[in-house]
Amino acid sequence: MCIININAENIDYESALGKLGNSIKLYKIILVGFKNKYANAYDDLVTLGIENNYTEAKILSHSLKGVCGNLGANNLEIISRELEYSYLNEDNKHLQLLDAFKQEVHVVLEDINSILECIDGTNESK
């Protein structure tokens, strides 16, 4: 199976697939959904922070945390959890976390693209 041989350093796809009953089709839905919905999450969080809209920033961080868990993006899940906590407490720690968040989203999106290319190159996603 192609997906086993892929080099995805920032996504634990084997664990994620295990949680999904090894359904590549379902995993692909999650990957594409993340890419479509959260590719601009950093910009969204920055904007919400400028607007002091911590409630929406907390909701976005919480949603990201859950999707990252299903995706296997463990580092991004941890950062999202820390962001959620910061927005909940309005402690401004999020200002220190946003750079790490931006970098991690970037590498996760690169891994998603690689995994999707691999999945699309097999017949197992059908």
Residue-level pLDDT at 55: 96
pLDDT at 9: 85
Average pLDDT, the chain: 90
pLDDT in tens, 28-65: 999 999 999 999 999 999 999 999 999 999 999 999 99
**pTM to 2 decimal places:** 0.87
Confidence band for 120, pLDDT divided at 50, 70 and 90:
confident
Is residue 87 within 8 Å of residue 54, measured between CB atoms?
A: yes
d(CA 121, CA 126): 11
CA 69 to chain centre: 8
Q: Which residue has the higher pLDDT, 90 or 83?
A: 83
Among the four given CATH numbers 1.10.10, 1.20.120, 2.60.40, 1.10.3210, the one describing domain 11-119: 1.20.120
Three-state SS for 19?
helix
**For residue range 70-85, what is the model confidence (pLDDT) as tens digits?**
999 999 999 999 999 9
Task: Inform me whether the pLDDT recorded for 126 exceeds 50.
Answer: no
- Domain parsing of the chain, residue ranges: 11-119
